[in-house]
Amino acid sequence: PSAVIVAIDGPSGTGKSSTSKAVAAKLGLRYLDTGAQYRAITWWMITNGVDTEDPHAIAVAAGKPAIVSGTDPCAPTITVDGLDASGPIRTKEVTSKVSAVSAVPEVRTRITELQRTIAADADGGIVVEGRDIGTTVLPDADLKVFLTASAEARAARRSGELKGKEATDLAATKEALIKRDAADSGRKTSPLAKAGDAVEVDTTELTLDQVIECVVTLVEEKR
């Protein structure tokens, strides 16, 4: 089978990461979590004292951190200036600031370049998940999937993931998630959006295995 490029977009809590990793592992493809890259640059801004409310300061610093993503779907990694950032990028602080940082055009240009290079170097094909992959980063992807789910289902999934890590409450998780999606959908530069040629899959009533199966079938039809 030829190298296939798969773009998986959608708001938070729709199962994008779990689905993308499993599909890539099943089909022998590489995997890229683009949200992790935006989280990584946000974490770098925070730890280096850049005011994440100041788009100009963010723009000036956007080129500074070295961000390297490992693309093994079974063990994805991300380093910032050589430091393992997989843990720190998942904190509430990063989650609450990532939308503002990722709305800055200089940040998007920088991260989009990294993404295109990784996709072009992925010999056997790759699954790339994010918000603007089908619309902006890889408009010529072989398959574009847009995952959706009700706000209730998304909040319940996200709060299940967070359990044990940080104190969570369902209402607060839902509110934070809706706020982040509104910011991501409302920004000027490459907002969260479904590409015209994307296949929309509503995961509200589906199990993770069903979503994986559905996407695997869609990829196989393209190979």
- Please identify, using beta-carbon distances, which residue of 125 and 134 lies nearer to ligand C5P: 134
Judged by CB under 6 A, which of 5, 30, 31, 38 binds ligand C5P?
A: 38
Q: Give yes or no for residue 78 binding ligand C5P (CB under 6 A).
A: no
Segment interacting with ligand C5P, rule: CB under 6 A, options 22-30, 32-40, 52-60, 75-83:
32-40
Judged by CB under 6 A, which of 8, 12, 146, 219 binds ligand C5P?
A: 12
Q: Give yes or no for residue 144 binding ligand C5P (CB under 6 A).
A: no
**Would you say 13 is a known binding-site residue?**
yes
Q: Could you give the CA distance from residue 6 to residue 192 in angstroms, rounded to a whole number?
A: 17
> What value, to the nearest 5°, has the Cα angle with vertex 136 and ends 132 and 141?
90
The mark string for 151-180 relative to ligand C5P (x by CB under 6 A, - otherwise) is -----------------------------x
Q: Give yes or no for residue 98 binding ligand C5P (CB under 6 A).
A: yes
DSSP one-letter string for 117-179: HHHHH-TTEEEEEESSIIIII-TT-SEEEEEE--HHHHHHHHHHHHTTTS---HHHHHHHHHH
- Please identify, using beta-carbon distances, which residue of 12 and 19 lies nearer to ligand C5P: 12
- Per-position b or e across 88-124, b if 16+ CB within 10 A of its CB: bbbeeebbebbbbbbbbebbbebbbebbeebbeebee
Judged by CB under 6 A, which of 14, 69, 102, 135 binds ligand C5P?
A: 102
- Residue 98 Cβ vs ligand C5P, minimum distance, rounded to whole Å: 4
Nearest to 41 by CA among 81, 70, 75, 76: 81
- Please identify, using beta-carbon distances, which residue of 132 and 153 lies nearer to ligand C5P: 132
Q: Could you give the CA distance from residue 5 to residue 14 in angstroms, rounded to a whole number?
A: 20
Judged by CB under 6 A, which of 141, 184, 201, 212 binds ligand C5P?
A: 184
Task: Determine the residue type at 93.
Answer: E
Binding residues for ATP: 10-18
